[in-house]
Chains A and B, each alone.
Chain A
Amino acid sequence: MNDLRDLYEEVILDHNRNPRNYPCKPEKTNRSAHGFNPVCGDEFFVHLHVEDGIIEDIGFDGAGCAISTASASLMTEALKGKPATDAERLFREVHHLLTEERQVGGPGEFLGKLTVLTGVKEYPMRVKCATLAWHTMKAALHDDNQTVCTE
């Protein structure tokens, strides 16, 4: 049962129960994107207010499993007020954390609280849940209107 508790970390359960910046579309939203995994039904909209390369505000709505919801919530918390370049870097590091067999030098400090997602790696079927909001955020940053899917 220990490994299940690694997946369903207390921080993850907390963000699933009380997602931050949810359901929320910031007033000055100027970038939005849609993420949808049709097989499992996870569906999120990520909204950004980007000004001079800074993510001034961020919110999301939609619905999904605990892993996808917590990952989205943690993401909004981590990105609010950060430069878009940090968002790109975090996207890469989270992706690396979830998909790479071997971590080079362990998860970087840059990830902070997001390291709670480490347990997802042991559940390959659930990685797509954890990455959905991140890909959706990236699409929003790049003003990509295509619906994102991580299945």
Chain B
Amino acid sequence: MSHAPNLAPERADNMFDVERIRAEFPILDQDVNGRPLVYLDNGATTQKPRRVIDAIRRYYESDNANVHRGLHALSERATNAYEGARDTVKAFLNAADRREIVFVRGATEGLNLIAQSWARPRLGPGDEIVITTMEHHSNIVPWQLVCRQTGARLRVAPIHDSGELDMEAFAALVNERTRVVAVAHVSNALGTINPVREIVETAHAAGAIAVLDGAQSAAHGAVDVRALGCDFYVLSSHKCYGPTGMGVLYGRTGVLEEAEPYQGGGDMIHTVSFEESTWNDLPYKFEAGTPNIAGAIGLGAAVEFMTELGMDAIAAHEGDVLEYATAAFGELDGIRIIGTAPKKAGILSFVVEGIHPHDVGTIVDRQGVAIRAGHHCAMPLMRRYKVPATSRASLALYNTRADIEALVESLRKVKEIFDR
């Protein structure tokens, strides 16, 4: 998404047949409270295309077995499907090696793994971890735990009112004491696309590792971990049209080899005796126990789905709908958009003057429009903007300008109800 689309915008738009794409999502074809569903809560979770649902069903109906163990046909098929998903994800992120793709429960577990397995054993008093004001709780709390465990210190880089990271202040915070820089690629509450390449360079120049939280970026534009140069990148499958309880931790071979195992158990060991155990090779050292096999297969199908559509085309389409929504909101009275960075992904956080986001959420839901209202797991960011919560519309590849028109219409109803 930080790169210009390869296709000319008009051409990308023509090729992006959103009605045909919508038809692949069975859940979108329903009424809610007597109105056609308008699903604009994709930052929380995306819906699943039929091929993802089918891939999971097919696995359970015909291939289900444990992986890396049995010598029988089903186990071989299950293992091939599970490891095939790893190859698919490797290509999707342009990782150098399939051993760099670790399957986890989600972005949250990925960040906790980095914190506990890489950071905790090497940090101590005097060391620093740098994050930003716009982080999701899952990129704050794991580092707070590490700080408590090691005596390291958490530093927080501020943001501008627009929702852009204050790069000067950020650069000033990163110094020889910095061991970890952990930043959201895209802010879940503001939509800001952070200049992650520059952030990675700043981290590396100081000798720190760079961790990117890709929960809100992976499904919305091309991600090339080698071009970004990051040491770690995490994503959640369910925010990428795949199943819940599944995620990816990308780690450079070097840092993954340095890291301690996250959990002990089957599959993550090479040998075990009561005196000593040795660890399995990457990535299995981090995959203790029977993994989420169906989850990985579902994620693989979701990644293939996105790749076929083309990440640049997806980014262009969502960018068009975001631009349309931003302009439409500009024409509504008493609505303030929180997060107005020039480079944004499809997230529109807003407050309606004098009306609490939960009341907004309830009223628009009655009109079939699903948005999120709350602090978006970013309480420090809400304090930064002096609001208790915001309403948030977040886009996916199946959203259209018509969805935005339904949202705007439902927001007019909010004002109608409250202004009477």
Contacts and interface: CB of A to CB of B under 8 A. Distances in A.
A8 B418 contact: yes
A7 B362 contact: yes
Given A125-B362, A129-B358, A41 B418 contact: no
A41 B413 contact: no
Interface in A43-70: 43, 63-67, 69
B359 A67 contact: yes
Interface in A8-24: 8, 10, 13
Given A1-B413, A129-B358, A13 B418 contact: yes
A10 B413 CA distance: 16
A41 B420 contact: no
B142 to A, nearest CB: 19
Contacts of A13: 418, 420
A66 B355 contact: yes
A5 B362 contact: no
Interface in B337-379: 355-359, 362-363, 366, 373-375
Contacts of B355: 66
B417 A4 contact: yes
B359 A66 contact: yes
Nearest to A67: B359
Nearest to A62: B388
A123 B375 CA distance: 21
B375 A126 contact: no
Given A4-B417, A41-B382, A126 B362 contact: yes
B415 to A, nearest CB: 12
Given A5-B417, A13-B418, A40 B358 contact: yes
Contacts of B375: 39, 41
Interface residues of B, number: 18
The residue in B375, B382, B388 that gathers the most chain A C-beta atoms within 10 A of its C-beta is B388
B414 to A, nearest CB: 9
Contacts of A143: none
A3 B366 contact: yes
Contacts of A39: 374-375
Contacts of A8: 359, 363, 417-418
The residue in B362, B373, B418 that gathers the most chain A C-beta atoms within 10 A of its C-beta is B362
B389 interface: yes
A41 B417 contact: no
A14 to B, nearest CB: 11
A69 B359 CA distance: 11
Given A4-B366, A8-B418, A13-B418, A41 B359 contact: no
A43 B366 CA distance: 25
Nearest to A66: B359
A65 B363 contact: no
A4 B355 CA distance: 15
Interface of A: 1, 3-5, 7-8, 10, 13, 39-43, 63-67, 69, 123, 125-126, 129
22 contacts: A1-B366, A1-B413, A1-B417, A4-B366, A8-B359, A8-B417, A10-B420, A13-B420, A39-B374, A40-B358, A40-B373, A41-B382, A41-B388, A41-B389, A43-B388, A63-B388, A64-B356, A64-B388, A65-B357, A66-B359, A66-B418, A69-B356
